[in-house]
Amino acid sequence: MSFLFPWNKSLPDTQLGVGWYNNNIRLIRLSHTNDATPRLDFYKSLPNLKRPTTVLRQLIKRHSLKRIPCVGVMGIGYYQILLIEAPPVLESELVAATRWRVQELIDFNIEEAIIDVFDVPVSRRQEKMIYVVVARQKAVQRHVDNLLGLGFKLIALDIPELALRNIAALLPEDKNGMALLWLTPKFMMLTITRHATLYLSRTVEGEIKHILPLIIAEIRRSLTYYENHFNQPPINHLVIAPMSHPSANLCKYLATHLGIAVRLLDLNALLNSVRLSVAQQAQCFPILGAALRQKSP
């Protein structure tokens, strides 16, 4: 059974988002009621663990997490996203038909790959395009085995790009189209969404202070591509994900160079919970998006 990106038809009442990268663990539990605002029931960040398995087992038992549906988030570098023309086959045959088309685009044997696909919104091109997510099967299976072995009720593995899409869908800017920028010490990720649909994503590796001009150039290219390729109105809003060490001048700097409105995201405005510090918000991003995961994009 493949756990890579299966979609739920409806959102469970309670769902876990889990990120496990090296020996760093992050967990978040959300509850969903008739109120449209999710409730944050539990959050934990455990960095640099010497015995992650032991600590996690204790945590799962202490907080009764074993039977709660769980979505894991894959780390950057463990997968690739490719844009290709969709094979002319039935939807049920799409994944199998896609394998031979991507074998020349990856640097390992296609027999060692696990693949899933999701639609690209309609563009000016006549050809139907799809996004293909490719990962090494052993890496995915190792991630799955680790989480299942600890007792998590794993229902899916997600990728950060779609986790960001889930968060963006809660923002008012998403109605008319928006860009969401996630900045980390090692890379930046940009997504452009509208009506909870992911149109495109871009990732640039490097420290912010060294790649800021490149980030601005990439955002400009992406906004122009979105407008022209998908025949969409211009994006007028950029939202920056919470940062561990936010720069007071970053929003003003980006707004000046991009000519659009820029603001920092406060996750407290999206959740019913005890207020999270800025550092906590940065830590639980993007696993919050995994806990929000509902259905196919």
Distance in angstroms (rounded) separating the CA atoms of residues 37 and 102: 40
CATH architecture of residue range(s) 79-137: 2-Layer Sandwich (3.30)
Phi/psi class of residue 111: alpha, beta or left (left: φ > 0; alpha: ψ in -120 to 50)? Answer: alpha
pLDDT at res. 28: 94
Domain locations in the chain as residue ranges: 14-75+139-161, 79-137, 172-264
With both helix axes pointing from N to C terminus, report the angle between 208-229 and 250-258 in degrees, rounded to the nearest 10.
Answer: 40
Walking along the chain (297 residues) 10 residues at a time, the average pLDDT comes out as 46 84 86 80 86 87 90 91 90 88 90 91 78 93 89 92 95 97 93 95 88 93 94 96 86 96 95 88 92 70
Angle, vertex CA 115, rays to CA 4 and CA 119, nearest 5: 90
What is the Cα–Cα distance from 95 to 53, expressed in whole angstroms?
A: 34
What's the CA gap between 113 and 81, in Å, rounded? 13
The confidence score (pLDDT) of residue 35 equals 65
Q: How far apart are CA 103 and CA 2, in angstroms?
A: 20
> What residue type is assigned to position 123 of the chain?
S
- pLDDT value at residue 120: 87
Same fold, 14-75+139-161 and 172-264: yes
pLDDT of residue 113: 93
Q: What phi, psi does 147 have (nearest 5°)?
A: -70, -40
DSSP letter for each residue of 230-264: TT-PPP-EEEEPP-SS--TTHHHHHHHHH-SEEEE
Q: How far apart are CA 143 and CA 146, in angstroms?
A: 5
CATH class of the domain at 14-75+139-161? alpha beta
What pLDDT was estimated at residue 3?
Answer: 44
pTM of the model: 0.91
DSSP 116-156: EEEEPPP-SSSS-EEEEEEEEHHHHHHHHHHHHHTT-EEEE
Q: What is the CATH number of domain 172-264?
A: 3.30.420.40
